[in-house]
Structure 1
Amino acid sequence: MNAKHKTVFIAFSSQKGGVGKSTFTTLVASTMHYRLGYNVAVFDADFPQHSLMKMKSRDLAMVMENESLKKLAYKQFTTINKKAYPIMQARADSVLETAHEFLSSSSIPIDVVFFDLPGTVNTPGILNALAGMHHIFTPITADRVVMESTLIFTQLLQDVIMKKGETSIETINLFWNQVDGRESTPLYAIYNQLIDQLGLSLMQSQIKNSTRFRKESEVNSKAVFRSTVMPPDERLMKASQLDQFINEFLKIIEL
Protein backbone atom coordinates (compact mmCIF):
# COMPACT_ATOMS: atom_id res chain seq x y z
CA MET A 1 0.00 0.00 0.00
CA ASN A 2 1.13 3.58 -0.65
CA ALA A 3 2.60 4.79 2.64
CA LYS A 4 1.69 8.40 1.80
CA HIS A 5 -2.01 7.61 1.56
CA LYS A 6 -3.81 8.91 4.65
CA THR A 7 -6.39 6.59 6.14
CA VAL A 8 -8.91 8.17 8.51
CA PHE A 9 -9.88 6.26 11.66
CA ILE A 10 -13.50 6.85 12.76
CA ALA A 11 -15.65 5.51 15.57
CA PHE A 12 -19.33 5.95 16.29
CA SER A 13 -18.99 5.68 20.03
CA SER A 14 -21.17 6.03 23.11
CA GLN A 15 -21.36 4.77 26.67
CA LYS A 16 -25.02 3.93 26.23
CA GLY A 17 -26.39 0.95 24.33
CA GLY A 18 -29.22 1.16 21.84
CA VAL A 19 -28.49 4.67 20.55
CA GLY A 20 -27.29 3.55 17.12
CA LYS A 21 -23.50 3.04 17.15
CA SER A 22 -23.46 -0.11 15.01
CA THR A 23 -26.31 1.16 12.83
CA PHE A 24 -24.46 4.36 11.91
CA THR A 25 -21.21 2.50 11.34
CA THR A 26 -23.07 0.40 8.78
CA LEU A 27 -25.07 3.24 7.19
CA VAL A 28 -22.08 5.53 6.67
CA ALA A 29 -19.63 2.79 5.65
CA SER A 30 -22.08 1.42 3.07
CA THR A 31 -22.90 4.87 1.68
CA MET A 32 -19.23 5.77 1.30
CA HIS A 33 -18.09 2.42 -0.12
CA TYR A 34 -20.97 1.55 -2.45
CA ARG A 35 -22.27 4.95 -3.52
CA LEU A 36 -19.57 7.60 -3.06
CA GLY A 37 -16.54 5.73 -4.40
CA TYR A 38 -14.45 5.51 -1.23
CA ASN A 39 -12.74 2.34 -0.03
CA VAL A 40 -13.62 1.49 3.55
CA ALA A 41 -13.00 -1.27 6.06
CA VAL A 42 -14.68 -2.04 9.37
CA PHE A 43 -13.33 -3.55 12.58
CA ASP A 44 -15.90 -5.08 14.90
CA ALA A 45 -14.36 -4.91 18.36
CA ASP A 46 -17.65 -4.85 20.27
CA PHE A 47 -17.17 -8.02 22.32
CA PRO A 48 -19.11 -10.19 22.97
CA GLN A 49 -21.95 -9.11 20.63
CA HIS A 50 -19.87 -8.60 17.47
CA SER A 51 -23.15 -7.47 15.93
CA LEU A 52 -21.62 -6.26 12.66
CA MET A 53 -20.08 -9.65 11.94
CA LYS A 54 -23.49 -11.25 12.50
CA MET A 55 -25.22 -8.53 10.48
CA LYS A 56 -23.08 -9.22 7.41
CA SER A 57 -23.99 -12.91 7.51
CA ARG A 58 -27.70 -12.02 7.75
CA ASP A 59 -27.41 -9.45 4.96
CA LEU A 60 -25.75 -11.90 2.56
CA ALA A 61 -28.38 -14.54 3.33
CA MET A 62 -31.22 -12.07 2.81
CA VAL A 63 -29.87 -10.93 -0.58
CA MET A 64 -29.69 -14.53 -1.74
CA GLU A 65 -33.29 -15.20 -0.59
CA ASN A 66 -34.83 -12.01 -1.98
CA GLU A 67 -35.03 -11.78 -5.79
CA SER A 68 -35.44 -7.99 -5.83
CA LEU A 69 -32.41 -7.47 -3.61
CA LYS A 70 -30.42 -10.06 -5.54
CA LYS A 71 -30.95 -8.07 -8.76
CA LEU A 72 -30.05 -4.81 -7.01
CA ALA A 73 -26.89 -6.35 -5.58
CA TYR A 74 -25.84 -7.80 -8.96
CA LYS A 75 -26.34 -4.44 -10.66
CA GLN A 76 -24.47 -2.67 -7.88
CA PHE A 77 -21.38 -4.86 -7.85
CA THR A 78 -21.07 -4.99 -11.64
CA THR A 79 -21.39 -1.19 -11.78
CA ILE A 80 -18.91 -0.24 -9.05
CA ASN A 81 -16.61 -3.17 -9.89
CA LYS A 82 -15.38 -3.79 -6.37
CA LYS A 83 -16.11 -6.18 -3.56
CA ALA A 84 -18.05 -5.62 -0.38
CA TYR A 85 -16.03 -3.90 2.29
CA PRO A 86 -14.36 -6.22 4.80
CA ILE A 87 -15.66 -6.52 8.37
CA MET A 88 -13.04 -7.98 10.68
CA GLN A 89 -13.32 -9.12 14.27
CA ALA A 90 -10.82 -7.76 16.79
CA ARG A 91 -10.28 -7.09 20.47
CA ALA A 92 -10.48 -3.55 21.79
CA ASP A 93 -7.05 -3.76 23.41
CA SER A 94 -5.34 -4.73 20.15
CA VAL A 95 -7.64 -3.30 17.47
CA LEU A 96 -5.33 -0.40 16.54
CA GLU A 97 -2.38 -2.71 15.93
CA THR A 98 -4.61 -5.09 13.98
CA ALA A 99 -5.89 -2.22 11.84
CA HIS A 100 -2.40 -0.97 11.03
CA GLU A 101 -1.32 -4.49 10.07
CA PHE A 102 -4.33 -4.75 7.77
CA LEU A 103 -3.56 -1.40 6.12
CA SER A 104 0.07 -2.29 5.53
CA SER A 105 -0.93 -5.52 3.77
CA SER A 106 -3.94 -4.19 1.85
CA SER A 107 -3.59 -4.31 -1.94
CA ILE A 108 -5.78 -1.21 -2.30
CA PRO A 109 -5.53 2.11 -0.43
CA ILE A 110 -8.19 2.35 2.27
CA ASP A 111 -9.74 5.79 2.77
CA VAL A 112 -11.61 5.19 6.02
CA VAL A 113 -11.50 2.53 8.71
CA PHE A 114 -14.57 2.40 10.94
CA PHE A 115 -14.31 0.94 14.43
CA ASP A 116 -17.30 -0.52 16.27
CA LEU A 117 -16.08 -0.38 19.86
CA PRO A 118 -17.51 -1.60 23.19
CA GLY A 119 -19.83 0.77 25.01
CA THR A 120 -18.09 0.84 28.37
CA VAL A 121 -14.90 2.49 29.61
CA ASN A 122 -14.27 -0.58 31.78
CA THR A 123 -13.34 -2.63 28.70
CA PRO A 124 -9.56 -3.25 28.62
CA GLY A 125 -7.88 -1.03 26.03
CA ILE A 126 -10.99 0.98 25.12
CA LEU A 127 -9.59 4.40 26.06
CA ASN A 128 -6.40 3.69 24.13
CA ALA A 129 -8.47 2.61 21.12
CA LEU A 130 -10.58 5.79 21.28
CA ALA A 131 -7.42 7.90 21.59
CA GLY A 132 -6.29 6.37 18.28
CA MET A 133 -9.32 7.65 16.38
CA HIS A 134 -9.15 10.77 14.20
CA HIS A 135 -12.86 11.51 14.56
CA ILE A 136 -15.49 10.31 17.02
CA PHE A 137 -19.21 10.65 16.34
CA THR A 138 -21.65 10.12 19.19
CA PRO A 139 -25.39 9.63 18.62
CA ILE A 140 -27.63 11.05 21.34
CA THR A 141 -31.33 10.80 22.08
CA ALA A 142 -33.58 13.07 24.15
CA ASP A 143 -33.45 10.81 27.18
CA ARG A 144 -32.07 11.97 30.54
CA VAL A 145 -30.07 8.78 31.23
CA VAL A 146 -28.60 8.75 27.72
CA MET A 147 -27.70 12.43 27.92
CA GLU A 148 -26.05 12.22 31.34
CA SER A 149 -24.00 9.18 30.35
CA THR A 150 -23.02 10.68 26.99
CA LEU A 151 -22.03 14.10 28.28
CA ILE A 152 -19.85 12.63 31.06
CA PHE A 153 -18.21 10.28 28.54
CA THR A 154 -17.64 13.03 25.96
CA GLN A 155 -16.18 15.40 28.53
CA LEU A 156 -13.82 12.62 29.64
CA LEU A 157 -12.56 12.26 26.07
CA GLN A 158 -12.28 15.98 25.48
CA ASP A 159 -10.95 17.20 28.82
CA VAL A 160 -8.73 14.28 29.78
CA ILE A 161 -7.59 12.34 26.72
CA MET A 162 -7.39 15.20 24.20
CA LYS A 163 -5.78 17.70 26.58
CA LYS A 164 -3.06 15.21 27.49
CA GLY A 165 -1.93 15.43 23.89
CA GLU A 166 -1.24 11.71 23.50
CA THR A 167 -4.05 11.22 21.03
CA SER A 168 -4.95 11.26 17.36
CA ILE A 169 -8.41 12.72 18.03
CA GLU A 170 -9.16 15.77 15.91
CA THR A 171 -12.91 16.13 16.50
CA ILE A 172 -15.65 14.74 18.74
CA ASN A 173 -19.12 15.30 17.35
CA LEU A 174 -22.48 14.76 19.03
CA PHE A 175 -25.57 14.41 16.85
CA TRP A 176 -29.28 13.88 17.47
CA ASN A 177 -30.65 10.48 16.50
CA GLN A 178 -34.21 9.07 16.61
CA VAL A 179 -35.70 12.56 16.57
CA ASP A 180 -39.48 12.40 16.82
CA GLY A 181 -41.21 15.43 15.34
CA ARG A 182 -43.99 15.05 17.91
CA GLU A 183 -41.63 15.55 20.84
CA SER A 184 -41.43 18.85 22.68
CA THR A 185 -39.15 21.27 20.82
CA PRO A 186 -38.11 23.08 24.06
CA LEU A 187 -36.59 19.81 25.28
CA TYR A 188 -34.04 19.83 22.44
CA ALA A 189 -33.39 23.54 22.96
CA ILE A 190 -32.52 22.92 26.62
CA TYR A 191 -30.16 20.06 25.78
CA ASN A 192 -28.58 22.06 22.94
CA GLN A 193 -27.89 24.91 25.34
CA LEU A 194 -26.30 22.52 27.84
CA ILE A 195 -24.09 20.98 25.16
CA ASP A 196 -22.97 24.46 24.11
CA GLN A 197 -22.23 25.48 27.72
CA LEU A 198 -20.03 22.40 28.12
CA GLY A 199 -18.04 23.42 25.04
CA LEU A 200 -18.97 20.28 23.11
CA SER A 201 -19.56 20.11 19.35
CA LEU A 202 -23.07 19.35 18.10
CA MET A 203 -23.76 18.59 14.45
CA GLN A 204 -26.58 20.49 12.74
CA SER A 205 -27.92 17.32 11.11
CA GLN A 206 -30.64 15.41 12.95
CA ILE A 207 -31.70 11.86 12.11
CA LYS A 208 -35.46 11.36 12.07
CA ASN A 209 -37.06 8.35 13.70
CA SER A 210 -39.38 6.03 11.78
CA THR A 211 -40.12 2.32 11.59
CA ARG A 212 -39.89 2.66 7.79
CA PHE A 213 -36.11 2.77 8.11
CA ARG A 214 -35.88 -0.77 9.50
CA LYS A 215 -36.12 -2.26 6.03
CA GLU A 216 -33.44 -4.89 6.62
CA SER A 217 -35.96 -6.87 8.70
CA GLU A 218 -38.44 -7.28 5.86
CA VAL A 219 -37.82 -10.47 3.92
CA ASN A 220 -39.85 -9.35 0.89
CA SER A 221 -38.60 -5.78 0.84
CA LYS A 222 -37.55 -4.19 -2.43
CA ALA A 223 -35.31 -1.66 -0.70
CA VAL A 224 -32.94 -1.65 2.27
CA PHE A 225 -31.85 0.99 4.73
CA ARG A 226 -29.30 -0.66 7.03
CA SER A 227 -27.16 -3.19 5.17
CA THR A 228 -23.48 -4.11 5.09
CA VAL A 229 -23.61 -5.20 1.43
CA MET A 230 -25.74 -2.42 -0.12
CA PRO A 231 -26.11 1.34 0.37
CA PRO A 232 -29.22 2.79 2.04
CA ASP A 233 -32.15 3.39 -0.29
CA GLU A 234 -31.94 7.03 -1.44
CA ARG A 235 -35.60 7.75 -0.66
CA LEU A 236 -35.18 6.45 2.88
CA MET A 237 -31.96 8.44 3.25
CA LYS A 238 -33.82 11.62 2.36
CA ALA A 239 -36.79 10.81 4.60
CA SER A 240 -34.52 10.19 7.59
CA GLN A 241 -32.28 13.16 6.68
CA LEU A 242 -29.31 10.79 6.55
CA ASP A 243 -28.32 12.48 3.28
CA GLN A 244 -27.82 15.77 5.14
CA PHE A 245 -25.86 13.97 7.85
CA ILE A 246 -23.52 12.38 5.30
CA ASN A 247 -22.76 15.76 3.72
CA GLU A 248 -21.92 17.29 7.10
CA PHE A 249 -19.94 14.18 8.09
CA LEU A 250 -17.75 14.42 4.96
CA LYS A 251 -17.02 18.10 5.63
CA ILE A 252 -15.89 17.29 9.17
CA ILE A 253 -13.52 14.45 8.25
CA GLU A 254 -12.13 16.44 5.28
CA LEU A 255 -11.34 13.51 3.02
Structure 2
Amino acid sequence: MESENKTKFIAFSSQKGGVGKSTFTVLVASELHYRQGYNVAVFDADFPQYSLVKMKNRDLGMVMENEFLKKAAFRQFTSINRKAYPIIEHKAEGVVQAAIEFLESSDLRFDFIFFDLPGTVNTPGILKALAGMHHIFTPITADRVVMESSLVFTQLMNDVIMKKGSTSIKSINLFWNQVDGRERSPLYELYSKLIGELGLTIMRTQVMNSTRFRKESEAAAKTVFRSTLLPADERLMKACRMDQFIAEFFEIINS
Protein backbone atom coordinates (compact mmCIF):
# COMPACT_ATOMS: atom_id res chain seq x y z
CA MET A 1 0.00 0.00 0.00
CA GLU A 2 2.99 2.30 -0.05
CA SER A 3 3.14 3.17 -3.73
CA GLU A 4 1.90 6.60 -4.75
CA ASN A 5 -0.27 4.83 -7.32
CA LYS A 6 -1.99 2.71 -4.70
CA THR A 7 -5.08 3.47 -2.68
CA LYS A 8 -4.53 6.05 0.05
CA PHE A 9 -5.94 5.27 3.50
CA ILE A 10 -7.14 8.46 5.20
CA ALA A 11 -8.63 9.05 8.65
CA PHE A 12 -10.09 12.17 10.21
CA SER A 13 -9.42 11.15 13.77
CA SER A 14 -9.68 12.73 17.19
CA GLN A 15 -9.93 11.69 20.81
CA LYS A 16 -12.60 14.34 21.47
CA GLY A 17 -16.17 14.13 20.27
CA GLY A 18 -17.95 17.00 18.58
CA VAL A 19 -14.96 18.46 16.73
CA GLY A 20 -16.05 17.29 13.27
CA LYS A 21 -14.25 14.08 12.32
CA SER A 22 -17.33 12.36 10.84
CA THR A 23 -18.46 15.56 9.12
CA PHE A 24 -15.06 16.05 7.47
CA THR A 25 -15.02 12.40 6.38
CA VAL A 26 -18.28 12.96 4.50
CA LEU A 27 -17.40 16.41 3.12
CA VAL A 28 -14.05 15.33 1.71
CA ALA A 29 -15.22 11.92 0.49
CA SER A 30 -18.17 13.48 -1.35
CA GLU A 31 -16.04 16.26 -2.84
CA LEU A 32 -13.45 13.81 -4.16
CA HIS A 33 -15.90 11.18 -5.43
CA TYR A 34 -18.67 13.30 -6.93
CA ARG A 35 -16.94 16.50 -8.01
CA GLN A 36 -13.28 15.63 -8.60
CA GLY A 37 -13.67 12.23 -10.21
CA TYR A 38 -11.84 9.99 -7.75
CA ASN A 39 -13.09 6.56 -6.73
CA VAL A 40 -13.78 6.61 -3.00
CA ALA A 41 -14.97 4.14 -0.37
CA VAL A 42 -15.64 4.73 3.32
CA PHE A 43 -15.31 2.32 6.24
CA ASP A 44 -17.54 3.32 9.14
CA ALA A 45 -15.76 1.78 12.11
CA ASP A 46 -17.28 4.01 14.78
CA PHE A 47 -19.04 1.21 16.66
CA PRO A 48 -21.76 1.08 17.95
CA GLN A 49 -23.39 4.22 16.46
CA TYR A 50 -22.17 3.77 12.86
CA SER A 51 -23.31 7.32 12.17
CA LEU A 52 -22.21 7.42 8.52
CA VAL A 53 -24.16 4.29 7.62
CA LYS A 54 -27.23 5.86 9.22
CA MET A 55 -26.54 9.18 7.47
CA LYS A 56 -26.50 7.51 4.06
CA ASN A 57 -29.87 5.90 4.75
CA ARG A 58 -31.30 9.30 5.77
CA ASP A 59 -29.77 10.93 2.68
CA LEU A 60 -31.40 8.36 0.42
CA GLY A 61 -34.79 9.08 1.99
CA MET A 62 -34.26 12.84 1.76
CA VAL A 63 -33.32 12.74 -1.93
CA MET A 64 -36.43 10.71 -2.74
CA GLU A 65 -38.66 13.20 -0.87
CA ASN A 66 -37.09 16.41 -2.19
CA GLU A 67 -37.78 17.06 -5.88
CA PHE A 68 -34.89 19.51 -6.25
CA LEU A 69 -32.38 17.10 -4.72
CA LYS A 70 -33.83 14.20 -6.69
CA LYS A 71 -33.22 16.05 -9.96
CA ALA A 72 -29.75 17.15 -8.82
CA ALA A 73 -28.85 13.56 -7.93
CA PHE A 74 -30.17 12.29 -11.29
CA ARG A 75 -28.12 14.87 -13.21
CA GLN A 76 -25.05 14.10 -11.16
CA PHE A 77 -25.11 10.32 -11.47
CA THR A 78 -25.93 10.53 -15.18
CA SER A 79 -23.04 12.93 -15.72
CA ILE A 80 -20.32 11.18 -13.71
CA ASN A 81 -21.42 7.64 -14.65
CA ARG A 82 -20.47 6.46 -11.18
CA LYS A 83 -22.49 5.03 -8.30
CA ALA A 84 -22.58 6.50 -4.82
CA TYR A 85 -19.49 5.61 -2.86
CA PRO A 86 -19.92 2.57 -0.59
CA ILE A 87 -20.01 3.01 3.18
CA ILE A 88 -19.01 -0.25 4.82
CA GLU A 89 -19.76 -1.05 8.45
CA HIS A 90 -16.93 -2.67 10.43
CA LYS A 91 -15.51 -2.56 13.94
CA ALA A 92 -12.14 -0.87 14.42
CA GLU A 93 -10.51 -4.21 15.17
CA GLY A 94 -9.35 -5.67 11.86
CA VAL A 95 -10.71 -2.78 9.78
CA VAL A 96 -7.46 -2.19 7.84
CA GLN A 97 -7.28 -5.85 6.82
CA ALA A 98 -10.97 -5.71 5.88
CA ALA A 99 -10.23 -2.71 3.64
CA ILE A 100 -7.33 -4.52 1.97
CA GLU A 101 -9.57 -7.55 1.32
CA PHE A 102 -12.27 -5.23 -0.04
CA LEU A 103 -9.78 -3.73 -2.50
CA GLU A 104 -8.51 -7.14 -3.58
CA SER A 105 -12.04 -8.41 -4.25
CA SER A 106 -13.23 -5.31 -6.12
CA ASP A 107 -13.12 -4.93 -9.90
CA LEU A 108 -12.85 -1.18 -9.38
CA ARG A 109 -9.60 0.58 -8.51
CA PHE A 110 -10.15 2.92 -5.57
CA ASP A 111 -8.08 6.06 -5.12
CA PHE A 112 -9.05 6.70 -1.51
CA ILE A 113 -10.51 4.83 1.41
CA PHE A 114 -11.65 6.99 4.31
CA PHE A 115 -12.01 5.56 7.80
CA ASP A 116 -14.36 6.95 10.44
CA LEU A 117 -12.79 5.61 13.64
CA PRO A 118 -13.89 5.63 17.29
CA GLY A 119 -12.84 8.54 19.47
CA THR A 120 -11.00 6.64 22.17
CA VAL A 121 -7.65 4.87 22.26
CA ASN A 122 -9.20 2.25 24.57
CA THR A 123 -11.23 0.80 21.69
CA PRO A 124 -9.93 -2.69 20.74
CA GLY A 125 -7.87 -2.49 17.55
CA ILE A 126 -7.87 1.31 17.28
CA LEU A 127 -4.08 1.80 17.52
CA LYS A 128 -3.46 -0.86 14.89
CA ALA A 129 -6.09 0.76 12.68
CA LEU A 130 -4.46 4.18 13.04
CA ALA A 131 -1.03 2.68 12.31
CA GLY A 132 -2.47 1.42 9.02
CA MET A 133 -3.43 4.87 7.78
CA HIS A 134 -1.29 6.80 5.30
CA HIS A 135 -2.48 10.21 6.47
CA ILE A 136 -4.31 11.31 9.62
CA PHE A 137 -6.10 14.65 9.89
CA THR A 138 -7.15 15.85 13.35
CA PRO A 139 -9.61 18.73 13.76
CA ILE A 140 -9.02 20.93 16.79
CA THR A 141 -10.83 23.89 18.36
CA ALA A 142 -9.53 26.67 20.59
CA ASP A 143 -10.81 24.98 23.71
CA ARG A 144 -8.51 23.86 26.53
CA VAL A 145 -10.10 20.41 26.97
CA VAL A 146 -10.13 19.74 23.23
CA MET A 147 -6.55 20.92 22.86
CA GLU A 148 -5.20 18.83 25.72
CA SER A 149 -6.95 15.72 24.44
CA SER A 150 -5.88 16.33 20.83
CA LEU A 151 -2.24 17.06 21.66
CA VAL A 152 -1.92 13.97 23.84
CA PHE A 153 -3.48 11.89 21.05
CA THR A 154 -1.25 13.39 18.35
CA GLN A 155 1.90 12.99 20.43
CA LEU A 156 0.96 9.36 21.02
CA MET A 157 0.71 8.86 17.27
CA ASN A 158 3.90 10.80 16.58
CA ASP A 159 6.13 9.52 19.37
CA VAL A 160 4.93 5.97 19.87
CA ILE A 161 3.38 4.58 16.69
CA MET A 162 5.39 6.42 14.00
CA LYS A 163 8.73 5.98 15.74
CA LYS A 164 8.23 2.24 16.16
CA GLY A 165 8.54 1.91 12.40
CA SER A 166 5.75 -0.66 11.94
CA THR A 167 3.34 1.85 10.47
CA SER A 168 2.10 3.17 7.14
CA ILE A 169 1.64 6.72 8.49
CA LYS A 170 3.24 9.40 6.33
CA SER A 171 1.73 12.46 7.97
CA ILE A 172 -0.34 13.56 10.95
CA ASN A 173 -1.96 16.95 10.48
CA LEU A 174 -3.76 19.09 13.02
CA PHE A 175 -6.09 21.77 11.68
CA TRP A 176 -8.27 24.49 13.18
CA ASN A 177 -12.02 23.88 12.85
CA GLN A 178 -15.05 25.89 13.99
CA VAL A 179 -13.11 29.16 13.83
CA ASP A 180 -15.31 32.20 14.57
CA GLY A 181 -14.46 34.86 12.00
CA ARG A 182 -15.93 37.61 14.20
CA GLU A 183 -13.59 36.81 17.06
CA ARG A 184 -9.83 37.40 17.13
CA SER A 185 -8.85 35.00 19.87
CA PRO A 186 -5.19 34.98 20.99
CA LEU A 187 -5.66 31.28 21.72
CA TYR A 188 -5.13 30.38 18.05
CA GLU A 189 -1.73 32.04 17.95
CA LEU A 190 -0.69 30.68 21.36
CA TYR A 191 -1.77 27.13 20.62
CA SER A 192 -0.25 27.19 17.12
CA LYS A 193 3.07 28.23 18.68
CA LEU A 194 2.80 25.41 21.25
CA ILE A 195 2.01 22.89 18.51
CA GLY A 196 5.12 23.96 16.61
CA GLU A 197 7.28 23.73 19.75
CA LEU A 198 6.05 20.16 20.27
CA GLY A 199 7.25 19.29 16.78
CA LEU A 200 3.75 18.67 15.47
CA THR A 201 2.27 19.85 12.17
CA ILE A 202 -0.65 22.23 11.85
CA MET A 203 -2.27 23.06 8.52
CA ARG A 204 -2.37 26.63 7.19
CA THR A 205 -6.09 26.54 6.48
CA GLN A 206 -8.48 27.45 9.26
CA VAL A 207 -11.98 26.12 8.63
CA MET A 208 -14.60 28.65 9.64
CA ASN A 209 -17.50 27.85 11.93
CA SER A 210 -20.82 27.17 10.23
CA THR A 211 -24.15 25.79 11.42
CA ARG A 212 -24.07 23.74 8.22
CA PHE A 213 -21.49 21.46 9.83
CA ARG A 214 -24.19 20.23 12.17
CA LYS A 215 -26.98 20.03 9.60
CA GLU A 216 -27.93 17.49 7.00
CA SER A 217 -30.16 18.20 4.02
CA GLU A 218 -33.59 19.57 4.91
CA ALA A 219 -36.93 18.69 3.36
CA ALA A 220 -37.21 21.88 1.30
CA ALA A 221 -33.50 22.48 0.74
CA LYS A 222 -32.14 23.56 -2.65
CA THR A 223 -28.52 23.23 -1.59
CA VAL A 224 -26.65 20.53 0.30
CA PHE A 225 -23.63 20.65 2.54
CA ARG A 226 -23.13 17.48 4.57
CA SER A 227 -24.33 14.65 2.32
CA THR A 228 -23.15 11.17 1.37
CA LEU A 229 -24.87 11.37 -2.02
CA LEU A 230 -24.01 14.85 -3.31
CA PRO A 231 -21.01 17.16 -2.96
CA ALA A 232 -21.37 20.24 -0.80
CA ASP A 233 -22.56 23.40 -2.55
CA GLU A 234 -19.49 25.24 -3.86
CA ARG A 235 -20.58 28.59 -2.37
CA LEU A 236 -20.97 27.00 1.06
CA MET A 237 -17.57 25.31 0.69
CA LYS A 238 -15.95 28.65 -0.10
CA ALA A 239 -17.74 30.45 2.73
CA CYS A 240 -16.19 28.18 5.38
CA ARG A 241 -12.86 27.78 3.48
CA MET A 242 -13.39 24.10 2.74
CA ASP A 243 -12.19 24.80 -0.81
CA GLN A 244 -8.85 25.95 0.64
CA PHE A 245 -8.79 22.94 2.94
CA ILE A 246 -9.24 20.56 -0.01
CA ALA A 247 -6.38 22.25 -1.89
CA GLU A 248 -4.04 21.91 1.11
CA PHE A 249 -5.23 18.32 1.65
CA PHE A 250 -3.96 17.46 -1.84
CA GLU A 251 -0.67 19.25 -1.19
CA ILE A 252 -0.12 17.02 1.83
CA ILE A 253 -1.09 13.66 0.38
CA ASN A 254 0.85 14.27 -2.86
CA SER A 255 4.05 15.55 -1.24
Return the TM-score normalized by structure 2: 0.96
Q: How many residues are matched?
A: 253
Question: What is the CA-CA distance between 1:215 and the residue it aligns to?
Answer: 5.1
Secondary structure at the counterpart of residue 216 of structure 1: coil
Seen in structure 2, the aligned counterparts of structure 1 residues 16 and 29 have a Cα distance that, compared at 3 Å, is same
* One-letter identity of the residue aligned with 2:133: M
Please name the residue that 1:31 is paired with.
31
For residues 83-122 of structure 1, the aligned pairs below 5 Å read: 83-122=83-122
Could you say what secondary structure the match of 1:128 adopts?
helix
> CA 1:161–1:137 in 2, change beyond 3 Å: closer, same or farther?
same
Counterparts of 2:187 and 2:109, CA distance in 1:
44
Amino acid at match of 1:63: V
**Is the CA contact 1:213–1:240 (under 8 Å) kept in the aligned structure 2?**
no
Shift of 1:24: 0.3
Question: For the residues of structure 2 that align with 1:207 and 1:115, how far apart are their CA atoms?
Answer: 21
Structure 1 counterpart of 2:69:
69
Distance 1:37 1:192 in 2: 34
Give the aligned partner of residue 192 of structure 1. 192
**Distance in 2 (alpha carbons) for counterparts of 1:28 and 1:49:** 21
Shift of 1:217: 4.3
Query: For residues 181 and 4 of structure 1, do their structure 2 counterparts lie closer, same or farther at Cα, with a shift above 3 Å needed?
Result: closer
Task: Tell me what 2:227 maps to.
Answer: 227
- State how far apart, in whole Å, the 1-side matches of 2:45 and 2:214 are: 24
Q: Distance in 1 between matches of 2:213 and 2:124?
A: 34
Aligned counterparts of 1:70 and 1:17: Cα–Cα separation in 2:
32
Aligned equivalents of 1:214, 1:199: Cα separation in 2: 32
SS at match of 1:207: coil
1:159 paired with 2:159, answer yes
Q: Distance in 2 between matches of 1:214 and 1:161?
A: 32
Residues 169 and 212 (structure 1 numbering): CA distance in 2 closer, same or farther, change over 3 Å? closer
Q: CA deviation at 1:242?
A: 0.2
Structure 1 length-normalised TM:
0.96
User: What amino acid sits opposite 2:73 in the alignment?
Assistant: A
* C-alpha contact 1:214 1:225 (8 A) present in aligned 2: no
Q: Deviations over 1:66-113 (max 9, x none)?
A: 011011000000000010000000111110111011000111100000
Give yes or no for the alignment of 1:216 onto 2:216: yes
Rounded to whole Å, the distance in 2 between the matches of 1:156 and 1:20 is 20
Q: How does 1:3-42 map to 2 (within 5 A)?
A: 5-42=5-42
Kept in 2: contact 1:132–1:168 (CA 8 A): yes
Letter of the structure 1 residue corresponding to residue 107 of structure 2? S
Corresponding residue for 1:126?
Answer: 126
How far apart, in 1, do the equivalents of 2:157 and 2:225 lie? Answer: 31
Instruction: Tell me how far apart the structure 2 counterparts of residues 210 and 94 of structure 1 sit (CA, whole Å).
Output: 35
**In the alignment, is residue 181 of structure 1 matched against residue 181 of structure 2?**
yes
**Structure 2 CA distance for aligned equivalents of residues 113 and 99 of structure 1:** 8
Distance 1:213 1:157, change over 3 A: closer
Query: Can you give the 5+ residue segments of structure 1 that lack an aligned partner in the other structure?
Result: none
SS where residue 203 of structure 1 aligns? coil
Secondary structure (helix, strand or coil) at the match of 2:174 reads strand
Query: Deviation at 1:169?
Result: 0.2
Assess, with a 3 A threshold, how the Cα gap between structure 1 residues 147 and 97 changes in structure 2: closer, same or farther: same
Q: Secondary structure at the match of 1:33?
A: helix
Q: Secondary structure at the residue paired with 1:139?
A: strand
Contact 1:213 1:236 survives alignment (8 Å): no
- Partner of 1:100, secondary structure, is helix
